[in-house]
Every structure is written in C-alpha cells, then in structure tokens.
Amino acid sequence: MFERHHESLLPRPKFILRVIKFACISLGIIIFSLVLGMLGYWQFEHMSWIDAFLNSAMLMGGMGQVNILHTDAGKTFAGIYALYCGFILLISVGIFMTPIFHRLLHHFHLENK
C-alpha cells in the first residue's frame, strides 16, 4: 500500500489522492459512529432524531450530554457510547494521519542515503 524505503517519494498528486482516500475512510468511521449513537438514543431514550443527533454529536465532540437521560438503559448506553467515542477519536485521527506520517518518515529516510 505504501512505498518501501528503497523507493522514491510518491508524486504530490498521488499523495494528495492517498490523503483524500484515508480522510474518506476516517470520515466514514465517524459517520457510522454518529448514526450508531443516534440509533442508541432513539431506541433507549426515545429521543427524536434531531435530539439523538445533537446528543451523539456532542458526545463525539467531547462536550457531553445535552438532554437529561431518564432510563437506566439510556444511561448505560450513553456511558458505553462515550467510551466508544474516545476510541473512535484516536482511531480516526490515526487513520487520517497515517499517510502524512509515512511520507514524513519516508522523506527523512531518503535524506539519509
């Protein structure tokens, strides 16, 4: 998938396409997680779709709950979803930054030859 240490740097247009590809993968994970949170709030707390979106987006953004939760199932879901969102943040940033870090390390490795 990535060029090896003995190969030259990927040309800039191809590198930009690679970054866009990884950004789309990262965005897809974020959108999937947002929809998952919306479904959870809709199912367990019987929120409207817009309230479920707001609560999911606020948790994913690190701001926390907006609405007061009334059911034990909803509270349990919100806690698990908050932990899940923390992992998703790390995973999606890691996926997005992978081609950038690779190019940077590859560039420094080429200068050492």
- pTM beyond 0.75: the answer is yes
Q: Which residues of 67-78 are buried (b: 16+ CB within 10 A; e: fewer)?
A: eebeeeebeebb
Residue 11 has what pLDDT?
86
Q: Is residue 107 over pLDDT 80? A: no
List the one residue out of 27, 26, 22, 36 whose CA is nearest residue 84: 36
CA quadruple 63, 21, 2, 88: dihedral, nearest 10? 20
Give the start-to-end residue ranges of the domains of the chain: 31-111
Query: pLDDT tens digits, residue range 39-82?
Result: 999 999 999 999 999 999 999 998 888 999 999 999 999 999 99
CA quadruple 32, 101, 86, 38: dihedral, nearest 10? -20
Over residues 86-93, mean pLDDT: 95
Fold for domain 31-111?
Helix Hairpins (1.10.287)
Residue bearing the bigger pLDDT, 112 or 28: 28
